[in-house]
Amino acid sequence: MTRSYRSTLGLALALGSLASPAQAQSGSGEVIVTAQRRDADDYSADRPAVGLHRMADFAVMPVSITGDTRDATQRADEIYAMLASAIAAADKAGVSLAHGETVVEPVTTANYRSLTLKRTNRPDSQALTVLVKVPLSDKVDARSAQARITAFIKMVKPVGRALMEEDGDLTLSVVAPDQYRPAIARAVAADAHATSEAFGADYAVEVEGLSRPVEWARDGLTGVLLYIPYKLTVVPKR
**Cα(100)–Cα(221) distance, rounded to whole angstroms?**
21
Residue 54, pLDDT score: 96
Residue 135 and residue 67 in one domain: yes
Give the CA distances from residue 229 to residues 9, 139, 172, in Å, rounded to whole numbers and listed in that order: 11, 32, 21
Domain boundary among 132, 153, 174: 174
10-19, 61-70, 170-179, 196-205 — which is least confidently predicted?
10-19
Structural element, H or E, at residue 122:
none
Looking at the fold, whether 111 and 80 belong to one and the same domain comes out as yes
Angle at the Cα of 26 from the Cα atoms of 216 and 131, rounded to 5 degrees? 80
Portion of the chain with pLDDT greater than 90, in percent? 74
Least confident window among 35-39, 78-82, 160-164, 228-232 = 35-39
CA 56 to chain centre: 8
**Range 188-211 average pLDDT:** 92
Question: Could you tell me the pTM of the whole model?
Answer: 0.80
- In which domain, by residue range, is 18 found? 2-30+37-56+176-236
**Neighbouring-strand partners of residue 166:** 63
Residue type, 96: S
Residues 159 and 184 occupy one common structural domain: no
Average pLDDT over residues 159-178: 96
Q: Which residue has the higher pLDDT, 234 or 17?
A: 234
Q: How many domains does the chain have?
A: 2
